[in-house]
Structure 1
Amino acid sequence: MQLDLNLLTALDALLEEGSVAGAAARLHVTAPAMSRSLGRIRKATGDQILVRTGRSMVPTARALAMRAEVHALVQQAHRLLSARQELDLAALERVFTVRWHDSLTAACGTALIAAVHRQAPGVQLRLTAEPGTDTPELRRGEVDLESSSGRSTLSGIRHRLIGRDRLVVAVRPGHPLTEGPLSLERYAAADHVTVSRRGRLHDPIDDALTTRGRERRVVAAGPTTAFALQLALDTDLVVTLPDAVTRATRDQLGLITLPLPLPSPDIPLYLQWHQRYDDDPAHTWLRDLATETVQALFPPPPASQEALTPGPGSDGYAPEPAQEG
């Protein structure tokens, strides 16, 4: 009998559960996938393994005879592999690629690099900018960890919600909008700059204004948050952007923060990675360290809290219509 570990694990589940559906649920795979595994097991063993009697399935005599040995083999293999997964951070040598939105890198990049170097001095960290278009690097393993304001719909991509942000308005000291309460009318009448890697002059704020019978004039689109904030400091342009991930930069520049004068949904922040790293202890360490670093900006929300989330094609860190993965 020639079976790989995946088929041995499937066989163990099938013999324990006594059904394709039960084994599939146990291993978190689809019933069709488990049926295909059963077919491969039957071909490899030359035995039916499970046969249908009425509305249920029962193991064959051969299956009953091998059940205890198969279970012992699977448990032994898992113990052996687990023993090899002991993580020694002091001896770890690896290059990780982290692709974050520029505002998140500015807010947390230094702290993440310092924490990584302190705990695992042999690890190298590559912080790269988000591209202007959606790319498959996460699936190909070229990017280890990615930030997103929406959950990916791509197969095999895992996500972790680590916080929710809110939109605020930033202007230079002495800006006319700082004189008195910021009304919707005064906000809409000002000149604005958007943050867009694609150079978009329109974002969801414009849609929200339209529903209220208002329209704003966007003078420019900046490719990064840092550029837009500097532009707001040097001119009378107004920039609307997430609060927590830009707070440190706004404070450094001395910008004035005003509340957005219209309701908007919270902005979720996700970390994403490929499922191939689920059981990788070094990657798990990096995910947890990145989560801890980012959550220092804001506490995680209750698990039951839901918000409108943009899809994987969203441009930057701003609210868009929900596209659940």
Structure 2
Amino acid sequence: MDMNLLVALDALLDSNSVTLAAERLHTSPPAMSRTLARLRRVLGDPLLVRAGRSLVPTPRALELRYEVSALVEQGRTLLAPRETGDLASLKRTFAVQAGDMVLTELAAPLLSAVRAEAPRVALRFLPDILEGTAALRDGRVDLEVGVIDHTDPETTVRRVLADQMIGVAAADHPLVTDRVTVAAYAAARHLSIARNGRAHGPIDDRLALHGRTRRVVATVPNLTSALFAVRGTDLVCPVPALLSASALPALGLCTFEIPLPLPEVAIGMAWHPRNTADNGHRWLRDLVQETLLRSAAVVRPPKRRRGTTDQDAGGGLESR
């Protein structure tokens, strides 16, 4: 079955001309004549017959004209790119996997935006404990947001923004009130955020270049636990500046610049390629990106404190 014959038949029956049908389909008259011959064999009817210098349709052709035209139009509609449509009537549930490090800044503004644009859409936020590629592939997760550490042909990844690591401590901590040096930073009592419980990370590698080590007295698996643990203690903890901005004032915590050159924290999104062209999924991806960028736009990295060492400050995850 060659469905292209329907398109050719529609052009022939509409124009009653091999030449005009060829022009419409951007082919040559000889090629269209061969197609007409195939149609005659398939349908067992001459379809168009010579009448003087023109062609006229047979009774069978007249019967087919409307039906063929309708089928071709339905085919074009089916294969045409779909528009986003009316978001107010979109009714879907999306599973979004995001760790609390991202969810703290993302959840509230994203839910407000979804409610305003597509009130019938529901979001299921999942913890970042599922294996990324497999969960995206089998549909357990529609969109992963955060630090994407898996890349393969089965995953599409989009970088959204880069965050930097800063130090956080209680308001009266010496690293907040006094000069921040590498020595003072290394001597503090440290808390580390590590899902796998491993305390060693980029900070330790940078301190080693200065011949120093730090004492990590505890590790916690997520950002929320870290912030509550630091509050009311003498502990210090590295946190992402943009992703912790709204939580710090609420907990009465202050920040300081870590006097070490640390790598950036790349925040992105990942999804399975089968969802790339889906309009609802594309809308959600764009909305998540806009929400994260909007949140980042109102946060400024801490200004460099006078008296810090001459090492550059930067950002990066400790250990995952």
* TM-score, length of structure 2 as denominator length: 0.68
Structure 1 residue 185: deviation in Å? Answer: 0.4
Question: Quick check: 266-275 or 199-208, which moved more?
Answer: 199-208
SS at the partner of 1:252?
Answer: helix
RMSD: 3.1
The 8 Å contact of residues 200 and 318 in structure 2, kept in 1 or not, is answered as no
Tell me the SS of whatever aligns to 1:234. Answer: coil
1:157 to 155, 168, 179: 155
Work out the CA distance in 2 between the residues paired with 1:92 and 1:232.
43
Residue matched to 2:117: 119
Which residue of 269, 274, 277 maps to 1:276? 274
Contact 1:151 1:159 in 2 (8 A): no
From 226, 229, 243, the equivalent of 2:227 is 229
Deviation at 1:148, TM superposition (A): 3.4
Question: Which amino acid in the other structure matches residue 184 of structure 1?
Answer: V
In structure 2, give the amino acid aligned to 1:165. D
How far the C-alpha of 1:139 sits from its partner, in A, is 1.7
Pair 254,160 (structure 1): closer, same or farther in 2 beyond 3 Å: same
Distance 1:257 1:75 in 2: 63
Report if aligned partners of 2:193, 2:318 keep a CA contact under 8 Å in 1: no
2:317 alignment counterpart: 318
Q: State how far apart, in whole Å, the 2-side matches of 1:319 and 1:218 are.
A: 12
For the residues of structure 2 that align with 1:75 and 1:211, how far apart are their CA atoms? 70
Gaps of 5+ in 2: 5-29, 36-70, 298-315
Q: How does 1:202-241 map to 2 (within 5 A)?
A: 202-241=200-239
Secondary structure, aligned partner of 1:90? helix
User: In the alignment, is the contact (CA less than 8 A) between 1:112 and 1:289 conserved in 2?
Assistant: yes
Change (3 A) 1:134 1:81: closer
Runs of 4+ in 1 over 6 A off after TM superposition: 73-76
1:272 deviation in Å? 1.0
Q: Take 2:265 and 2:196, find their aligned partners in 1: how far apart are those partners? A: 20
The code of the aligned residue for 2:292 comes to V
Report the counterpart of residue 129 of structure 1 in structure 2.
Answer: 127
Aligned match of 1:168: 166
Deviates more, 1:242-251 or 1:195-204: 195-204
Structure 1 unpaired stretches of 5+? 5-60, 67-72, 300-316
What is the alpha-carbon distance in structure 1 between the residues aligned to residue 3 and residue 276 of structure 2? 23
What is the identity, as a one-letter code, of the residue corresponding to 1:191? Answer: R
Q: Shift of residue 77 of structure 1?
A: 5.1
Give percent identity, aligned residues only: 36
Give distance in 1, aligned partners of 2:99 and 2:3: 44
Q: Quick check: 1:81 aligned with 2:79?
A: yes
Q: Give 2:7's aligned residue.
A: none
From the superposition, tell whether residues 195 and 78 of structure 1 become closer, same or farther in structure 2 (CA, over 3 Å).
farther
Write the deviation string for residues 95-121 of structure 1: whole angstroms up to 9, x where unpaired: 001111212111120110111112111
Counterparts of residues 1-325 of structure 1 (less than 5 Å): 1=1, 79-82=77-80, 85-131=83-129, 136-150=134-148, 152-299=150-297, 318=317
| 1:114 aligned partner, one-letter code | S
Change (3 A) 1:166 1:3: farther
Q: Quick one: structure 1 residues 319 and 273, their matched pair in 2 at CA, closer, same or farther if it must change by over 3 Å?
A: farther
- Structure 2 residue aligned with 1:70: none
C-alpha separation between the residues in 2 aligned to 1:238 and 1:78? 62
Separation of aligned partners in 2, 1:319 and 1:276: 33
Alignment check: 8 A CA contact 1:163 1:270 kept: yes
Q: Which amino acid aligns with 2:317?
A: A
| Contact 1:132–1:198 under 8 Å retained in 2 | no
Whether contact under 8 Å (1:166, 1:265) holds in the other structure is yes
Normalised to the residue count of structure 1, the TM-score between the two structures is 0.67
Residue aligned with 1:143, SS:
coil
Q: Secondary structure at the match of 1:98?
A: strand
SS for the counterpart of 1:136 is helix
Determine if contact 1:265/1:319 at 8 Å carries over to the other structure.
no
Aligned partner of residue 150 in structure 2, secondary structure: coil
Q: Distance in 2 between matches of 1:77 and 1:109?
A: 41
Range with bigger deviation, 250-259 or 204-213: 204-213
Could you tell me how far apart the structure 2 residues matched to 1:195 and 1:320 are?
7
Distance 2:102 2:73 in 1: 42
Bigger radius of gyration: 2
User: What is the deviation of 1:75?
Assistant: 11
